[in-house]
Structures are given as C-alpha cells and as structure tokens.
Structure 1
Amino acid sequence: MTHPADPALLRALAIATEKALLEAEIRLPTDVLAALRRAAAAERNEVARQEFALILENIALAGERQVPICQDTGVPVVYLTLPPDVPFTPDLFAGIREGVRRATTAIPLRPNVVDPLTRENTGDNTGAGMPAVHVVFGDRLTVTVLPKGAGSENASRIGMLLPSQAADIPRFVAETMLIAGGKPCPPVFLGVGIGGTFDGAAALAKEALLLPVDTMDDYEQEICDAVNALGIGPMGLGGETTALAVKVKRRDCHTASLPVAVNVQCWACRRATVEVER
C-alpha cells in the first residue's frame, strides 16, 4: 500500500517546477551562452555572423523583458531527482503537473500539448503522459526541466545499427543533420545515445542534452566536426558552425545490436534545475 504524498511537498514541487520553467524559458545556461558567443566570434561567413548577432540580441531582449526566448516554448520534459527520504509515489507527478499549469499561465507558455490523433489541445501543457517525467535518484530533491520545441524534436532520429557499423556512428549523426538542414534552427546541440535498447537509446540521447556543453571529449569532437563539415550554418543559410556541441551517453547493449539515437536541440538549449524547498 502506498501512502499519499504530503500536500506541502506537492505544493513545493509545483513551485519548483514553475520556477525551473521560468528560468529555462527566459535565460539560457551560462555554458550554452558561452558556446554561442565563441562560435559567433570565430565565424567568418558574413551571413552567418549576422545570424549570430540576431540570436544574441534575441537572448538579451528576452532577459531584459522577462519573456520567453522563443515563441515555441516547447513541451515540458522533466527530470525529478529523488533522495532516499522521499518515497516514490504517483502523487509526485501531480505536483509537477500543477507547476506546469501555473507556468503556462504565468510565464506564459504557448499551449503546445495536443491529442496525437484528434489534435485537441489540452490548454495547459498537461495531458496523457504530459509532462514527460523521468525519475532519477540522488542526494537532493530537485526538478530539472528541458523544454523541447517541435522544430528540433522533429529532426531527431534513431537507428538500429549492426555491431559492425560502430565506425559509422559519426556518419549517422551527420546524416541526421544533413536531412534536417535548417529546420531545427541551427546551430544545434546534439544529444547522442549509444547502446541500450530501442527506447533506451532515445532516452540516453535526450539525457545527453542535460550535460555541460563547454567541453567535448575526442569522440564527441569528431562527431561535431563531421556535422560542421556539412556547412549548413546558422538557420541553414551557410557557415562554419552547424553544431555548437555534441554530447554522447552510452549504455551496454545486446551483443547483436547497436542502437543509436540523435536528439536534436536548437541553439536555445533551454534547461534549468531548481531544488525543492521542504
């Protein structure tokens, strides 16, 4: 038998969720902003330089006016970190949903959540399986949000490669961006999930977008270089920077399979973490 969560805890979860969404929608993380500024300073293509200038102006205005960075405020993807002293009960999701409802009105967020077939809008960014909540375990009770817009999410891709195709993974990622072109509003951040199962690789790819983007290991840099060699550039208008960073997460998999997923995120890699006060 499960015991209902403390109402005070649910209220605190709602407050933390709303705060996290407010932060994520209006201000970019420092590592993301630094990556954009570095790329803008290094870009030699004149059109691309102009696009970077517009992106940076957009970010500044959003902060000054306290409005969302992009009109597509995305769908809320939430990572709930639970410490050992907080029981995992379904009631916790109710607190998060309430925070999303409040944020939709207060920020405001565009109501993006619809029934997949009828396309009926729920009006408050909650619904069947929404917001998407992933539970992880740690030392502190925190809410992390990763708003995902449709332009970048629609460009994401998964492939069930053969184990013999491990060397083709950079090509698969670059091909994903070649197909996408300017649709996901490049320059992009790419989360790559390698291993696990069909669904597990996709989850890894999305989790990779939560990692700091101020460093890449040699393998991530190799993939990033392959994507940038495409020359798609900011907003698909050409340039040296198509990907600002590539982050990879791996998991062991079946001996006969090699799942690979690419979760595309536009230049507005929005994410924020808020600790729940209790």
Structure 2
Amino acid sequence: MRKVKAEQIKDVIKELFLKANFVIGTDILDMLIKRQKEEKSPTGKAVLSQIIENDVIASDEKIAMCQDTGYAVVFVELGQEVLIVDGDFNEAINQGVREAYEEGYLRKSVVEEPLFERKNTKDNTPAIVHLEIVPGDKIKIAVTPKGFGSENMSTLKMLKPADGIEGVREFIIETVEKAGPNPCPPIVVGIGIGGTVEKAALIAKKSLLRSVDERNNDDRYARFEEELLEDINKLGIGPAGLGGITTALAVNIEFAPTHIAGLPVVVNICCHAARHAEATI
C-alpha cells in the first residue's frame, strides 16, 4: 500500500488551478491560431487575434485569462493501492482550491445554496469532485475551472432510440444555434451519449478534458464529431457571435452503455477559454 499525504494532494490541486486559469492549453492556442488564419470574416479574424493576444498576455503575466475564473471541477482517478494519510481527502482538495483562488487573485464565484440567499462562500469552494477507483498506486488528477456563460447554455434531452443519429444531430445543432453568442464562441462542444441522466452529463463534462485535436477512438463517433463540427461552423455564429466560419473549435463525444428504452444526450458547452490541467501523484 502506497501512502500519500493529504498535503501533497492539496499542493497539486492548488498548482493545477493556478496553471489552468493562467495558461491556455497548447492544443487550444494552436487551434485558435489555425482558425484565425482560415477565418473569412474580417471581424471574426480580429476577434480571434484578440483572443490569442489575451491568452499570451495571461500566460506571460500569470493573470487570469477570463474574469469568470470558473467553478472548480475535479476529476480524480484514485489507485486502489493508495492510502491517503495525515488529513482528509476532500478537505485537501478544497484547501487547494481555496489557496489557488486566494493567492492567484481569482474571482470567487460559488454560492452556498442556489435558490434563496445565494451567499458567496468567498473562497470558491466547495469543489465538484468526481472520484473513480482504479487499479494501481497512483493518483491522477484533472481539473477544469468551468465558466458559467457556457455552462448555462448546456442542455439534456432524453431521446428515444428510434430518434437515432439524426435525432441526436438535430438536438446538438439546435442547442448550439440557440446558444448563439452567449457561450463566448468559438466553443468546444462536449457531448455525452448513453448511460443515465447523470452519466450522460458526467461524460459530456469529461469529454471537454480531451485535446481539441484528438478524435474519439471509435471511428464511427470520430466521423460524427467531424460532421457535427462542420455543421456547427456552417451556422455562421462566428467568433464572439459576430459572424464567421469559426463557431466551434472541436466537438468531443463520449458514449456509454444505456438502457434498451433510452437514448440520453447531454450537450455541455465550453467557451474558447477551455481551461484544464492535469497531474499524476
């Protein structure tokens, strides 16, 4: 049994959230540069140039790339041969978030309860933690500070199996079209298909951790991703919703087994500040 101190987990969480908020992934930056060169709209080109410049400044000066520094979402793959010692696992995660958002001067955006007082917790905790027990003696941690301009545009639909691929396509395109400029395009479209309500939502969120230049391992879903990206970019919403051929940078689909009577689909949209970082302990 390998022992890992809770403090080590806290330190890794802190560094990951600072990195994710300050430094855009090379996959996103490279894709933005590529799409800026291909964009036909002068306004769209200008917007993409400004986004790229913003990301470079944020990285160089270690400041937040977006004023919405997101809800702290954490995915943990915990090896079953690991023993957490000298502290509480969940509190270690929350303390890491707390220190990152305080020391990094990142906006605190979490309220204690959603309906009545909506009082800010003042440290961006508690984090949303998704834990999976896996073989081995390592801890893999992936974080994403999820902004809510795009999160608010996310949707769920319980389709019937008879709706098939065209029903799924229609729902996804309709969701992006209705979102329009609200999720700060160009966007990354995360899609979860199958499972149950909560499983579809979970894998849709997790799909956003995948590199925008990486397609699904299943050739059928990879082709569907490419088709959807083409269809979405034909909508003409464009960068910042000001028109153009760059509405989305990528479509990432994850799928899961589901019930014979169901076809759950979740669309989880992420803005161009598709922030995530990961590490292994």
2:165 matches 1:160? no
C-alpha contact (below 8 Å) 2:190/2:253 kept by paired residues: yes
Which of 59, 62, 74 is residue 55 of structure 2 equivalent to? 59
C-alpha contact (below 8 Å) 1:232/1:238 kept by paired residues: yes
Match of residue 187 from structure 2? 188
Q: Secondary structure at the match of 2:119?
A: coil
Match of residue 120 from structure 2? 121
Match of residue 132 from structure 1? 128
Query: What one-letter code is carried by the residue in structure 2 that aligns with 1:192?
Result: I
Which deviates further from its counterpart, 130-139 or 51-60?
A: 130-139
Q: Secondary structure at the match of 2:82?
A: coil
C-alpha contact (below 8 Å) 2:81/2:135 kept by paired residues: no
Query: What one-letter code is carried by the residue in structure 2 that aligns with 1:58?
Result: N
Shift of the alpha carbon at 1:215?
3.1
C-alpha contact (below 8 Å) 2:6/2:84 kept by paired residues: no
Match of residue 68 from structure 2? 72
Query: What one-letter code is carried by the residue in structure 2 that aligns with 1:183?
Result: N
CA distance in 1 between partners of 2:269 and 2:135 (Å): 27
Shift of the alpha carbon at 1:91?
2.5
2:273 matches 1:268? yes
Match of residue 197 from structure 2? 198
CA distance in 1 between partners of 2:170 and 2:234 (Å): 11
Which of 250, 259, 264 is residue 255 of structure 2 equivalent to? 250
Which deviates further from its counterpart, 140-149 or 152-161?
A: 140-149
2:83 matches 1:84? no
What is the aligned length?
Answer: 268
> Among the aligned pairs, what percent are the same residue?
39
Q: Secondary structure at the match of 1:192?
A: strand
Flag structure 1 segments of 5+ consecutive residues without an equivalent.
Answer: 1-5
C-alpha contact (below 8 Å) 1:152/1:183 kept by paired residues: yes
Q: What whole-Å deviation, never above 9, does each CA across 1:79-125 have from its counterpart, x for those lacking one?
A: 11212221479921111011011011111221100021211000011
CA distance in 2 between partners of 1:88 and 1:175 (Å): 45
Following TM superposition, the consecutive aligned residue runs of length 4 or more in structure 1 with deviations greater than 3 angstroms are 87-90
Q: What whole-Å deviation, never above 9, does each CA across 1:224-262 have from its counterpart, x for those lacking one?
A: 111111110000000001010000000111111100000
Match of residue 103 from structure 1? 100
The 1:250–1:27 alpha-carbon spacing in structure 2 relative to 1, beyond 3 Å, is same
2:226 matches 1:221? yes
Which of 34, 37, 41 is residue 41 of structure 1 equivalent to? 37
C-alpha contact (below 8 Å) 1:171/1:226 kept by paired residues: no
CA distance in 1 between partners of 2:17 and 2:100 (Å): 7
RMSD, aligned α-carbons = 1.7
Q: What whole-Å deviation, never above 9, does each CA across 1:194-225 have from its counterpart, x for those lacking one?
A: 00001111111001101121133211001111
Indicate the structure with greater strand content. Answer: 2
Q: Secondary structure at the match of 1:146?
A: strand
Q: What is the TM-score normalised by the length of structure 1?
A: 0.92
Match of residue 145 from structure 1? 143
Q: What is the TM-score normalised by the length of structure 2?
A: 0.91
Q: Secondary structure at the match of 1:119?
A: coil
C-alpha contact (below 8 Å) 2:159/2:264 kept by paired residues: yes
Query: What one-letter code is carried by the residue in structure 2 that aligns with 1:234?
Result: P
The 1:175–1:124 alpha-carbon spacing in structure 2 relative to 1, beyond 3 Å, is same
Flag structure 2 segments of 5+ consecutive residues without an equivalent.
Answer: 216-221
